[in-house]
Amino acid sequence: MSREQRGPNEKLGAVLALAGISNAGLARRVNDLGAQRGLTLRYDKTSVARWVSKGMVPQGAAPHLIAAAIGQKLGRPVPLHEIGLADADPAPEVGLAFPRDVAQAVKSATELYRLDLAGRRAGSGGIWQSLAGSFAVSAYATPASRWLITPADSSVAREAGAAEGSGPPLKVGHSDVQKLREAAEDARRWDSKYGGGDWRSSMVPECLRVEAAPLLLGSYSDEVGRALFGASAELTRLAGWMAFDTGQQEAAQRYYIQALRLARAAADVPLGGYVLASMSLQATYRGFGDEGVDLAQAALERNRGLATARTMSFFRLVEARAHARAGDAQAAGAALKAAESWLERSRPGDNDPSWLGFYGYDRFAADAAECYRDLKAPRQVRRFTEQALSKPTEEFVRSHGLRLVVSAVAELESGNLDAACEQGVRAVEVAGRISSARTTEYVKDLLHRLEPYGDEPRVVELRERARPLLMAPA
């Protein structure tokens, strides 16, 4: 379905020319993006010609998919108004801004919280489905640079007016903030054990909408406000991490940007570094190794002399991951060495942040193994994977599954097909117990690597065991 506009859509035509996309090419990209979110679209070059020459406006998710398709080609987000489709269903610009003003930062974050719930309830036409494929690593450039220049606001005290809601303005206290911190701690445990798609983990966006948003819009002193922004930043980063784990890259990016802005308002530089490290891991996972390096180094730069040794170790480890994905073995090795050195300097009595509780030698070894996997050094992968798998797994089930897949890849590249399949079977068993698109992608990658051995009985068995996992809805 489409509706008529007044005259040709010259903006869309101009941007298509700038991006070098033909009518047929745009139709194909839009159909493909729709398919990724379970939408059956049958646009062709004639459809695009109508959008451009007659100003027809496609309905539903299509305008957002058009913007996403063009954005992929240009390497940056493309707002609807730039392509003359601003009259389409509103929304997807929300969450990309990194406002300088604290009041605008509150507005930007709370708008995102409300948007997410609407998207989750809207089914196949929901906002995150509409935003399919709109992740653009360039959207991190402004947030990172603004955070580096000014990592803290001068004051965040706020007096809420009566017009902002019914009844008297909410007066926020430390007990309110503590509830948010407890919610974040619970969410971290559920996420590690059951994956970002588990219903217990998915309650985080609801908590942001129902609990955090009213508090951010309430009245608070500078002291309470700093704590409130910090707790909200933790929860927002968690929402981003869970979206990342379930394959909703576009949602994750928006959560991360808002989490970084909230961390700046909290004047919590290590937490801001943690958000940047999360951005770096996402960029690296998406294949943007160089940008991942920049984000990790931004986290490091502001935290020199501030963060604990274990925190600095984690930031250097994230940097190593990005260097490895970019194919720079020397830089990756140097970052790994620095990460290990920082970790050796950490002590039980250090004032490490609570959100770093997952990080120790086993996590260092796991990520080091992934670095060497990207650098195609199976002997090193095996060595570090053995260390990573030596710790009990009750609390970090997803991590254990990922490590088993990395171990299987190392065995395969070392010529040990039986060992690779054995580890693969164990990984599939773990993946079946959690809800994590990322873990499923790791399993798919392993099966792809095993295709040359497709007739081997052990490979056939592994493929059959993995079938229910691969057929499960995303």
| Tokens representing residue 336 in the block | 């790994």
Say if CB 57 and CB 87 are below 8 A apart: yes
Say if CB 241 and CB 283 are below 8 A apart: no
| Tokens representing residue 216 in the block | 């951010």
Query: Who's near 259: CB < 8 A, 6+ residues apart?
Result: 233, 234, 236, 237, 240, 275, 278
Say if CB 146 and CB 98 are below 8 A apart: yes
Please state whether 41 falls in left (phi above 0), alpha (psi between -120 and 50) or beta.
beta
Say if CB 315 and CB 303 are below 8 A apart: yes
407-435 residue pLDDT tens: 898 899 889 999 999 999 998 988 888 77
114-146 residue pLDDT tens: 875 444 433 334 555 555 456 788 889 999 999
Look at 173 and 187; give whichever has higher pLDDT.
Answer: 173
Residue 261 within any structural domain of the chain: no
Neighbouring CB atoms inside 10 A of 454's CB total 10
Question: What's the CATH number where 33 sits?
Answer: 1.10.260
Confidence label for 194 from pLDDT (cuts 50, 70 and 90): low
Residue 410 within any structural domain of the chain: yes
Helix H or strand E encompassing 463: helix 457-471
Residue 38 within any structural domain of the chain: yes
Q: What percent of the chain has a predicted confidence (pLDDT) above 70?
A: 86
Alpha carbon 48 to its chain centroid, in Å, reads 32
Neighbouring CB atoms inside 10 A of 323's CB total 27
pTM comes to 0.79
Neighbouring CB atoms inside 10 A of 261's CB total 29
215-239 residue pLDDT tens: 999 999 999 999 999 999 999 999 9
Partners of residue 158 on adjacent β-strands = 220
Average pLDDT, the chain: 86
Confidence label for 167 from pLDDT (cuts 50, 70 and 90): low
Helix H or strand E encompassing 57: strand 57-58
Cα–Cα distance measured from residue 171 to residue 181, given in angstroms and rounded to the nearest whole number:
18
Residue 230 within any structural domain of the chain: no
347-400 residue pLDDT tens: 988 999 999 998 999 999 999 999 999 999 989 998 998 888 876 666 678 888
Confidence label for 251 from pLDDT (cuts 50, 70 and 90): confident
pLDDT at 434: 77
Cα–Cα distance measured from residue 230 to residue 234, given in angstroms and rounded to the nearest whole number:
6
Helix H or strand E encompassing 58: strand 57-58
Residue type, 38: G
pLDDT over 80 at 173, yes or no: yes
76-88 residue pLDDT tens: 778 778 888 876 5
Residues 6-19, mean pLDDT to the nearest whole number: 88
Residue 101 within any structural domain of the chain: no
pLDDT at 163: 47
**Residue numbers of the domain that contains 434:** 371-474
Residue 156 within any structural domain of the chain: no
Residue 203 within any structural domain of the chain: no
Residue 453 within any structural domain of the chain: yes
Of 35, 55, 83, which marks where a domain is finished?
Answer: 83
Of 58, 83, 108, which marks where a domain is finished?
Answer: 83
Looking at the structure of the chain, the number of domains it has is 2
Of 83, 116, 148, which marks where a domain is finished?
Answer: 83
